[in-house]
Amino acid sequence: MTIEEVADYLRVKKRTVYDWLKKGKIPAIKTVGQWRFKKDRIDAWLDQDDM
């Protein structure tokens, strides 16, 4: 998923996703200068209590 897709999926603004990335709060990988997210890892992250 892209930043836009994960923001839509989580119903937050892209800025919020960028803030989470900066703080290391959201699972993501950076490839060729672009952030990517796996839906199953996002779902597991949502299930955690320490979000």
pLDDT one-digit tens code per residue, 6-51:
999 999 999 999 999 999 999 999 999 999 999 999 999 999 865 5
Residue 51's pLDDT is what?
53
- Give pTM, 2 decimals: 0.87
Q: Residue 29 and residue 27: Cα distance in Å, rounded?
A: 7
Residue 10's pLDDT is what?
96
Q: Residue 1 and residue 8: Cα distance in Å, rounded?
A: 10
Residue 22's pLDDT is what?
96
Residue 49's pLDDT is what?
61
Packing angle between helix 3-10 and helix 14-23, nearest 10 degrees?
Answer: 110
